């Protein structure tokens, strides 16, 4: 198994010295030290995405994990967490949306199935290719299509899924966090001595969501 790298973005400010954090995922400490930025003064809602710290975990660590972030030394604005090791595909969700339509019964139109077949022709079995070209594909072909679409894991791109419930059950010092944690532009603001906890969904494949990516 390879290690997936996680990058925490946001902004931090310390009147002197550095802002430091202790980060635990599922009870294991993954980072303990000073953040990379302790000089960005906040004005209103934070928006500056500086790299604060990074850590690694095995690629097998997926699904919902409990997270604890303890801050000392100043203010830390907790922005998006981006990571690599996402599944790389021949066409992505946006390509699918742009090139396919549904029948009234929720099935893909013949033209849509033919588009998929054209994208994956050399990866599909002859039978599955012919079925799609004839417009006779059903949900039973989903696994075969996903397998044919998969290239491998992309270790050079960091990102997240748009509108994903990445953090749920957010609490600051044990109390519910005010704000809208599902809104990507909303960041918790932490101060010296604060502890942020939440449930984190670590997901590297979701065919129903748009992947937001940036290259390393």
Q: Is residue 186 predicted with pLDDT exceeding 70? A: no
pLDDT in tens, 100-112: 999 998 889 999 9
Backbone region of residue 123 per phi and psi (left: phi > 0; alpha: psi in -120 to 50; beta: other values): alpha
Q: Supply the pLDDT for residue 102.
A: 92
Q: What percent of the chain has pLDDT over 90?
A: 62
* Per-residue pLDDT band at 45 (split at 50, 70, 90): confident
Inter-CA distances, 194 with 16, 71, 76, 112, 176, Å: 18, 6, 10, 51, 13
User: Phi then psi for 116, rounded to 5 degrees?
Assistant: -60, -45
Mean pLDDT for 14-27 is 97
CA distance linking residue 158 with residue 54, whole number of Å: 12
* Per-residue pLDDT band at 145 (split at 50, 70, 90): very high
* Per-residue pLDDT band at 21 (split at 50, 70, 90): very high
Domain boundaries, the chain: 3-85+155-215, 89-153
Q: How many CB atoms lie within 10 A of CB 172?
A: 19
Q: Is residue 161 predicted with pLDDT exceeding 80? A: no
Q: 103 is written with which tokens?
A: 């029948």
Mean pLDDT of the chain: 88
Domain 3-85+155-215: which CATH number of 1.10.10, 1.25.40, 3.40.710, 2.60.60: 2.60.60
Mean pLDDT for 5-12 is 95
Q: Supply the pLDDT for residue 113.
A: 95
pLDDT in tens, 58-95: 999 988 999 999 999 999 999 989 999 888 889 988 89
User: Phi then psi for 3, rounded to 5 degrees?
Assistant: -95, 135
Q: Supply the pLDDT for residue 92.
A: 83
* Per-residue pLDDT band at 163 (split at 50, 70, 90): very low
CA distance linking residue 169 with residue 149, whole number of Å: 34
Among 199, 198, 192, 197, smallest CA distance to 76 is for 192
Please write down the HEC assignment for all residues of the chain. CCEEEEEEEEEEECCCCCCEEEEEECCEEEEEEECCCCECCCCCCCCCCEEEEEEEEECCCCEEEEEEEEEECCEEEEEEEEECCEEEECCCHHHHHHHCCECCCCCECHHHHHHHHHHCCCCCCHHHHHHHHCCCCCHHHHHHHHHHHEEEEECCEEEEECCCCCEEEEEECCEECCCCCCCCCCCCEECCCCEEEEEEEECCCCCCCCEEEEEC
């Amino acid at each position: 198994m390879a290690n997936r790298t996680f990058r925490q973005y946001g902004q931090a400010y310390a009147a002197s010295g550095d802002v430091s954090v202790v980060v635990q995922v599922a009870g294991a400490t993954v980072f303990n030290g000073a953040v990379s930025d302790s000089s960005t003064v906040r004005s209103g809602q934070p928006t500056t995405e500086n790299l604060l710290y990074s850590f690694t975990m095995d690629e097998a660590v997926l699904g919902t994990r409990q997270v604890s972030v303890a801050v000392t030394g100043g203010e830390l604005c907790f922005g998006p967490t981006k990571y690599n090791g996402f599944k790389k595909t021949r066409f992505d969700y946006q390509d699918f949306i742009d090139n396919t339509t549904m029948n009234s019964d929720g099935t893909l139109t013949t033209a849509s199935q033919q588009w998929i077949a054209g994208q994956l022709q050399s990866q599909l079995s002859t039978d599955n290719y012919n079925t799609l070209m004839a417009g006779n594909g059903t949900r039973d072909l989903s696994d075969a299509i996903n397998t044919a679409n998969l290239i491998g894991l992309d270790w050079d791109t960091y990102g997240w899924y748009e509108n994903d419930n990445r953090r749920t059950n957010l609490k600051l010092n044990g109390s519910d966090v005010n704000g809208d944690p599902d809104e990507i532009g909303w960041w918790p603001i932490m101060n010296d001595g604060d502890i942020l906890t939440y449930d984190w969904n670590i997901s590297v494949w979701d065919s129903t969501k748009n992947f937001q990516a940036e290259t390393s």
